[in-house]
Amino acid sequence: MSTLLSEARSSPLSGLARLRDHAAVVRALLDEFDRLAPVSPREAPVGRLACTIEQLQEEIERLGCRILECAAAMSTSPPLPAATTSVGPSRR
């Protein structure tokens, strides 16, 4: 498997942080696509829009891979220890 998966298995939280960072990249590209997308096909700014679409496709593919890797790491990582809570002050 990939190094990202082995990194995520060793520390699921860092894998999750990387996943959130990549999701932010995809959101930014979607914003750019929304800004460049034509209202009608006749108004299409072909060059820049085509580049944005290609980049968006690549980043969504990478995001999907990261989601799967993160999910796999989380399913194989040991559970976090349960927090111990007390209801009231202890009496001796």
DSSP, res 37: -
- Model pTM score: 0.56
Write down the pLDDT at residue 1: 42
Q: What is the pLDDT of residue 46?
A: 67
Question: What pLDDT does residue 12 have?
Answer: 59
Q: Which residues lie closer than 8 Å to 57 by C-beta, 6 or more apart?
A: none
Q: Determine the Cα–Cα distance for residues 48 and 87; give it in Å rounded to an integer.
A: 61
- Say if residue 1 is exposed, middle or buried (CB neighbours under 10 Å; 0-12, 13-18, 19+): exposed
**Which residue matches tokens 């298995």?**
9
**Cα 75 from Cα 84, distance rounded (Å):** 23
d(CA 46, CA 49): 5
- Spans in the chain with pLDDT lower than 50: 1, 8
pLDDT at residue number 51: 81
